[in-house]
Structure 1
Amino acid sequence: MDITYMTIFELSERIKYDQRTIREQLKDSVLFEGVHYIHPFGGRKILYLWERIEEEMLNGVSLNSLTVST
């Protein structure tokens, strides 16, 4: 499965939410680290995983979707 990595700007454009709304209301309450976004190379930058976010938007958040698949 290909993964599309997005910056907060790109995610904001795609889902039509303000960047601040994503940072302050969605991140860590609906979008979870390791599931919907990562910090590549242990840095400060955040990259969002589009396919996981899209799946949650279409199907809703469930306990099964929060488990990290290997």
Structure 2
Amino acid sequence: MSRLLLVLGLLLVLAGLAWPWLSRLPLGRLPGDIHIVRDGVDFYFPLGTCLVLSVLLSLLLWWLRR
């Protein structure tokens, strides 16, 4: 468990350092993402992005457990 937490922490640090490059990826602006702008309200739900990330993480975890 501690090894998993260390690896996840290191991945978060690396993602934070690589944020200028990661922010250029089209994630968050995919078809299926819901963005509603009304009077004084801005609602955003990245449904398409969540689905893509879920599939990618599921495949990665499946590959690591094999």
**TM class by smaller structure:** under 0.3
**Structure 1 or 2: more strand by fraction:** 2
Larger RCO, structures 1/2 (Cα 8 Å, 6+ apart): 1
TM-score with structure 1 length normalisation? 0.25
TM-score with structure 2 length normalisation? 0.25
Q: Which has the larger radius of gyration?
A: 2
